[in-house]
Structure 1
Amino acid sequence: MSGRQRNWEALSFQIVMTAIAVLALILIVSPSLVVVIVSFTSGFSLKFPPQGYSTRWYVELWNAWQLQFAARNSVVVAMSSTALSIVLGVAAALAISRSKALTAKLLDSLFMSPLVLPALAFGLAALMFFSLIGLPISLLTLVIGHTIVCVPYVVRNTVAALAQLEPTLLESSAILGASRLYTFRRIVLPLIRPGIISGAFIAFMSSFDNVPVSLFLADARTEVLPIKLWAILEGSLDVRVAAVSGVIVVLTLIGLVCAETLGGLSRSFGKSSS
């Protein structure tokens, strides 16, 4: 095979992969972009393209107390679930990351099981379990349900970060007389921080945007934002739904930038993939 033919094949491969990547990017970004554009409509219904543009529906959000109440519940549940997921996920990752015992593999499978089970089936099972033990539906049950679903993200990202940790650093720390707690606080934790931050960010977004579990574990007093938006869309094409979605898109982008700044997520994922 001549060098010119090899170069042509490499160039063709790059062109094809670039085209696929651009197409995938368009398919991912287009729905969010359409929602953001529609949120600036001056009309009274969801229609694309808008006949006119206005920020009136964003102003309307200041007086939408029901949406604000649901958003507050979503933030409280997401923050609580993320905090618990960090504590449980990091502890689990430390226990199973370097162990080759059968129990560690079983625990790893157990922590990953919420990602395998159908979300609706888990939500129904959680509702039946809480009813069986006499625990009423509340923000507490929502936090528990969301935590179970979110822990796997923290575990998996933290395990990936721990896999990059040099064992010699821990051995040197132990030889110098440092305790396990001191070693974790001064050596392990700073090095695995990007993995923890990435897992926490994914866990927060997964909890905030969760529908199946919230559908079974929320009531009128604990209604969360995704369920509220769903209920609004079932009854009418309220443009405020698009405005809320636009706010969520912007806040998510800000969160991504902050997570990248604090944890260097792209560098962390690049190391783990290599």
Structure 2
Amino acid sequence: MSSTPLNPPTQLPSESAYSLRKLDQMSFAMVMPILAILGLIMLTAPTIIVLLASFSSSATLQFPPPGFSLQWYLSLFNFPELRAAALNSFQVALFTAIVCVVLGVAACLAMINSRGRWVAVMDALVMSPLALPGVALGLGMMAFFAMVGVRLSLFTLIIGHIVICTPYVVRNVLASLTQLGSSLQEASSALGASPTYTFFNVTLPLIKPGVLIGAFMAFLTSFDNVAVTLFLSDARTEMLPIRMWSMIENDLDVRAAAISGVLIFLTALLMIAMERFSGLSKALINGKA
């Protein structure tokens, strides 16, 4: 009996393989723009709705607005409680950003210059507030202050904001230090420069974009935080996010949308200024080149 020879495995012709790769590339090129547009719409739609509602002629929040009016923006000038709350939020956010920059840069320098196992533990500990819900974090810190006998005040509020804002500084500064490497610092030390001189004249100018972006994110996170502020602020210190939250919850006040419009405009201006000072786009372009 003659044995039947095994047929060799069929191979896909090169033309078919090329067609499949071409189809895969075309589908990727078609799907990704659609997903990007959908994501952009989902991110910007709430902001656009708030902006349109802030120009409403109605006395309560509703969308679409029945008419166009600037009265709610003009009414903000005769709102002393709002100015006091905005000033409190600005002061807390500014102080929080400064402390976060000092602590974050110091922690990053210690972690980048060490190879110990504690670095991974410290990084996880610092970044842990980002993994917890804001309500749980605020409630936990409030319970902790109650256990140690510390009354809620502006001091406890600033401590809470420092805890939740420091990760933004650490992540940005650590990324800048990682890209920088250690060759320039070692060269400066080899030439006789002190660690202080090396930091202020070599390291800090080179990581300035990361420091500025981290400080900017810490400031914004502290300024518009609701959950932690709600649990850690006392009754005498009124903060802008809590004021806006109560205006929407109790009265559906259109002035809350007008405040949001002002904050959106100021945030856009700060982002443009931060781009000019940090030079992030130039750094990205140079890195790609």
TM-score (norm 1): 0.93
Q: How does 1:1-274 map to 2 (within 5 A)?
A: 1-2=14-15, 6-268=21-283
Measure, in 1, the Cα distance between the counterparts of 2:34 and 2:217: 28
Offset, 1:7 = 4.6
Measured against aligned partners, the alpha-carbon deviations of 1:142-176 in whole angstroms (never above 9, x if no partner) come to 11110011011101110000001132211211111
Offset, 1:31 = 0.6
Measure, in 2, the Cα distance between the counterparts of 1:176 and 1:31: 55
Offset, 1:228 = 1.1
* The 10-residue stretch of structure 1 (193-202 or 111-120) with the greater mean CA deviation from structure 2: 111-120
Q: Is the 8 A contact 2:154 2:234 kept in 1?
A: no
Measure, in 2, the Cα distance between the counterparts of 1:32 and 1:44: 20
Offset, 1:196 = 0.8
Query: What secondary structure sits across from 2:142 in the alignment?
Result: helix
Offset, 1:207 = 0.7
Offset, 1:269 = 6.2
Q: How many residues align?
A: 274
Measure, in 2, the Cα distance between the counterparts of 1:272 and 1:27: 30
Identity, % of aligned positions: 46
Measured against aligned partners, the alpha-carbon deviations of 1:119-153 in whole angstroms (never above 9, x if no partner) come to 22221222233233433222111111100110111
Q: Which runs of 5+ in 1 are unaligned?
A: none
Q: Is the 8 A contact 1:164 1:272 kept in 2?
A: no
The letter for the 2-side match of 1:92 is A
Q: Which one has the largest radius of gyration?
A: 2
Q: Which runs of 5+ in 2 are unaligned?
A: 1-13
Measure, in 1, the Cα distance between the counterparts of 2:129 and 2:64: 40
RMSD, matched Cα? 2.1
Query: What secondary structure sits across from 1:216 in the alignment?
Result: helix
Measured against aligned partners, the alpha-carbon deviations of 1:33-85 in whole angstroms (never above 9, x if no partner) come to 11111111122121222221111100100111222221111111111111100
Measured against aligned partners, the alpha-carbon deviations of 1:237-261 in whole angstroms (never above 9, x if no partner) come to 1100100010111111111111111
The letter for the 2-side match of 1:122 is L
Measured against aligned partners, the alpha-carbon deviations of 1:197-248 in whole angstroms (never above 9, x if no partner) come to 1111111111111111111111331121111111111111110010001011
Measure, in 2, the Cα distance between the counterparts of 1:239 and 1:98: 52
Measure, in 1, the Cα distance between the counterparts of 2:245 and 2:212: 30
Measure, in 2, the Cα distance between the counterparts of 1:115 and 1:9: 37
Residues 160, 268 of structure 1: alpha-carbon distance in 2 compared, 3 angstrom cutoff:
farther
